[in-house]
Structure 1
């Protein structure tokens, strides 16, 4: 199948931007930019290969989009382009479900208190803050609660990378608190932000 006019224009735009960057920063900058483009293309190629593999031999009765969304690599690409079949709240709940067995031995349980937009000028414009509440045996226990927080942050970063910060009620903030790696396709909808548990 031949490339469409839009696809051809996109490729030409990439070449033009690389040439402009090369003129602005010189040959070493251009070489670095070329390597970046190669890395991004390789990353997307890996994602496409994984999608083809998943769809080439799906489990019987599997929903194709759900199958793609469950894969960490392909699901992340779907999130990046706002194509994931599950909303943020659903993916956060799944992340919490993954860590609940661990939480049971350290902190009891955790519940979502809310998801709010990140304040402007906070370095993560358009991001979201996930507010959680610990329940159970170690609520207010600083060392265990901090370990629980790290465990939760890691799971949330994999399932819902648009979450920029996790706040856990009763757990003191560390100074400075590192931001979660955030990749967003668009600002959150008001409906997403208003959604509660």
Structure 2
């Protein structure tokens, strides 16, 4: 289960608590308090694990989307947003690279290189959601149009001179 799916399930559970409550929001508040306490508990445990891991072991774990999502969620990921964006894109099949990230809008500009990506926009979004949830929008750069000089189809080469 991804971090995004888990977040949706938690929100659904909180909504159910609110519907089961007496309408004053007390059940929703109790559920949110429970989630905050669990998050604090997990943060403390994960912080100890991350601190105890040798650097090579931690580096190997950073490619795992579930581990990356947990570390980002708890503000324990050792890489900055740009590095996490590059890590996420490197794990995708094909060739797509980040051409820039605007933290104010959450938009990452992407460039397809080589023969294309081989993955869908949804695949890219899913990968970025785990590694860099700060990314909220994708913007693809358009490839420059190539100017082709030569004869037109059906035109003899001599007529083109």
TM-score (norm 2): 0.58
Q: Distance in 1 between matches of 2:105 and 2:41?
A: 27
Tell me by how many angstroms 1:47 deviates.
2.9
Aligned in 2, Cα 1:170/1:150: closer, same or farther, shift over 3 Å? farther
Q: 1:55 to 1:113 in 2, by over 3 A?
A: closer
Residue 169 of structure 1 aligns with which residue? 141
Give 1:113 deviation, angstroms.
2.0
CA–CA separation in structure 2 for the residues paired with 1:149 and 1:77: 27
Q: Return the offset for 1:92.
A: 0.7
Q: CA deviation at 1:156?
A: 1.2
**Could you tell me whether the CA contact under 8 Å between 2:96 and 2:113 is conserved in 1?**
yes
1:113 correspondence with 2:104: no
Q: Could you tell me how far apart the structure 2 residues matched to 1:134 and 1:127 are? A: 21
Match of 1:50 among 33, 46, 50: 46
Q: What 5-or-longer segments of structure 1 have no aligned partner?
A: 1-25, 104-108, 118-125, 172-197
Once the two structures are superposed, residues 155-174 of structure 1 have per-residue CA deviations (whole angstroms, 9 ceiling, x without a partner) of: 11111111111122349xxx
Deviation digits for residues 15-51 of structure 1, max 9, x if unmatched?
xxxxxxxxxxx76401211111111211231232233
Q: Tell me whether 1:38 sits opposite 2:34 in the alignment.
A: yes
Q: Which residue is 1:98 aligned to?
A: 91
Query: Which segments of structure 1 move beyond 3 Å, counting only runs of 4 or more?
Result: 53-56
Equivalent in the alignment of 2:25: 29
Under a length normalisation based on structure 1, what TM-score does the superposition of the two structures give?
A: 0.48
Equivalences for residues 102-141 of structure 1 within 5 A: 102-103=93-94, 109-117=95-103, 126-138=104-116
Structure 1 counterpart of 2:159: none
- Secondary structure class of the residue paired with 1:85: coil
Q: Which structure has the greater CA radius of gyration?
A: 2
Q: Figure out how many residues of one structure are paired with residues of the other and give that number.
A: 117
Q: Is the 8 A contact 1:127 1:162 kept in 2?
A: no
